[in-house]
Structure 1
């Protein structure tokens, strides 16, 4: 399962939708599974980040700025996670998922490179990072996907740089959340590292393939993640 999680997560994020249910069965649902899943998420995001950076897709300055704000949001989210009902996010995402699917399947309208790219206003950049970081720390699954969508659709960054920055932010966010969950005793290290081993291989393969064929796989991958997210929200 770690290999499959890595393949999906390295491209559009959302690998937690595969790994979290697995860990919920292996360990226990709730904070323990979410905390352990942060090992898997941070490891896979780091490997994908290295691949994208080596291929020249990462914009370091914008990426670091996005990560700092995102890590702050992740800290807030993971700190509140054990004490706050997740029903709010559940209902909100059930409304958002059909909208995201509409955007994904209107690729010619939404998913095309901007030839006249202009850096977004700092407030849009800040809010995108803060919101996606908070969600990633609070709930997790699909967090990397929302980081990517926030960058590409919200701020207008090109496709591959958006994915690369989202992997950088996902690494920072998941690591911050991992530290918080570990401090509160919610991380099972053995199970986490076992799944992370497969995640490393899957992330490397996925990021390498995406760098060459991103326009062919972006829509089916995003569709898969959104459908999995809807299934999780309705039945789990």
Structure 2
């Protein structure tokens, strides 16, 4: 029970961040491991709770009209294919190469966001370009998720904004839909393998639902003024995780 007093508030905070910009798992998964859960149980519990929070966030974004289904549907389909490719690559190559890349890439993305005055504003693209870019984005980010994973939702939001041309809020909503699909697939695997401690997972799921509701509401009301600083925060957390991992500190 004492573990839940620690986990539930952290999971709620992580869900707020995740529903706004993605990347909440950088906080919540660390918390599950920190309280002593075995790695596979920590992953299963994290996926169980985060799927609950993501579902609520998705519903609010959909009701708010902040999901581009043309982009999201194709990205969902190809993200599954990308995840299969990435997970197979992970079995062949060390993720250290990607970590070195992220050390340079993440600060570059943060600087780009800060110095580009029109970042997050919608841009018109042709239907053909939108379909091609959404499919390519789903494939690439799905491969990243299967190979490494942290910050997947954040990268989806960034790509939907800077590459496909959605406004920042619609990018968040669309990224949530893509994330939910992959979360459900992964959650099914954890349930089948028995990698969930329901005594911890269910209370944390309620915390995640609360966080997802609050976070999506903040994003819908505040728009880019809320989303952009949270994206920068998640970029910083990802950079910190990668650097600490390379130093052997988990």
Superposition TM-score tier, normalisation by shorter sequence: 0.7 to 0.9
Gaps of 5+ in 1: none
Provide, for residues 161-219 of structure 1, a one-character-per-residue CA deviation record: whole Å limited to 9, x for no partner: 21111000000011212223444554444433332221100111111121121121222
Q: What does 1:145-184 correspond to in 2, within 5 Å? A: 145-184=154-193
Q: Within the alignment, does 1:101 sit opposite 2:137 as a pair?
A: no
Distance change (3 Å), C-alpha of 1:107 and 1:127: same
| Cα displacement (A) at 1:30 | 4.2
* Corresponding residue of 1:19: 28
Give the SS at the match of 1:191. Answer: helix
| Cα displacement (A) at 1:6 | 1.3
8 Å contact from structure 1 (residues 147, 166) kept in 2: yes
Q: Within the alignment, does 1:70 sit opposite 2:59 as a pair?
A: no
* Corresponding residue of 2:218: 209
Task: Measure, in 2, the Cα distance between the counterparts of 1:182 and 1:83.
Answer: 26
Provide, for residues 144-176 of structure 1, a one-character-per-residue CA deviation record: whole Å limited to 9, x for no partner: 001111111111122222111100000001121
Q: Within the alignment, does 1:226 sit opposite 2:235 as a pair?
A: yes
* Corresponding residue of 1:57: 66
Distance change (3 Å), C-alpha of 1:170 and 1:141: same
Give the SS at the match of 1:110. Answer: coil
Q: Within the alignment, does 1:127 sit opposite 2:122 as a pair?
A: no
Distance change (3 Å), C-alpha of 1:80 and 1:199: farther
8 Å contact from structure 2 (residues 71, 131) kept in 1: no
Give me the TM-score of the superposition, normalised by structure 2: 0.83
* Corresponding residue of 1:89: 98
RMSD: 2.4
Q: Give the number of aligned pairs.
A: 235
Task: Measure, in 2, the Cα distance between the counterparts of 1:182 and 1:174.
Answer: 12
8 Å contact from structure 2 (residues 168, 227) kept in 1: no
Give the SS at the match of 2:223. Answer: helix
| Cα displacement (A) at 1:4 | 0.3
Task: Measure, in 1, the Cα distance between the counterparts of 2:196 and 2:80.
Answer: 19
Larger displacement relative to structure 2 (62-71 or 15-24): 62-71
8 Å contact from structure 1 (residues 80, 138) kept in 2: yes
8 Å contact from structure 1 (residues 117, 157) kept in 2: no
Give me the TM-score of the superposition, normalised by structure 1: 0.87
* Corresponding residue of 2:207: 198
| Cα displacement (A) at 1:137 | 3.7
Task: Measure, in 2, the Cα distance between the counterparts of 1:78 and 1:23.
Answer: 23
Gaps of 5+ in 2: 1-9, 245-249
8 Å contact from structure 1 (residues 6, 206) kept in 2: yes
| Cα displacement (A) at 1:112 | 2.5
